[in-house]
């Protein structure tokens, strides 16, 4: 989960933002990649019971839209 804490840091001081998967991966520790499920399954971003989604939910953000074709995810402040 620690790798996904980069997402709230990218969103700081914003009420909404669209990030590309590449932008997220570029900021992850050791330039790791998102799991393949994140790139092929939109529910990966929105399932509340997963530890990775708690990384941004704990900071008050939610996922509004996932565009798997263009590899974009839209976040907004709750």
pLDDT tens for each residue of 10-62 = 898 899 999 999 999 998 887 788 999 999 999 999 887 777 888 888 889 99
On the question of pLDDT at 2 being above 80, the answer is: no
DSSP 59: T
Q: Report the alpha-carbon distance of residue 46 to residue 34 in Å, rounded.
A: 15
Q: In 12-50, which residue ranges form alpha helices assigned H by DSSP?
A: 21-27, 36-40, 43-46
CB-based contact 45:66 (threshold 8 Å)? yes
The reported pLDDT for the residue numbered 67 is 97
For residue 77, pLDDT beyond 90: yes
Cβ-Cβ contacts under 8 Å for 43 (sequence gap 6 or more) = none
User: Does residue 1 carry a pLDDT above 60?
Assistant: no
């Amino acid at each position: 989960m620690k790798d996904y804490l980069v997402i709230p840091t990218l969103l700081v001081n914003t009420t909404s933002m669209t990030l590309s998967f590449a932008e997220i991966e570029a900021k992850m520790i050791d330039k790791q990649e998102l799991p393949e499920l994140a790139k092929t399954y939109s529910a990966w971003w929105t399932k509340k019971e997963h530890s990775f989604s708690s990384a941004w939910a704990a900071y008050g953000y939610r996922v509004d839209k996932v565009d798997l074709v263009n590899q974009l995810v839209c976040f907004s402040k709750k």
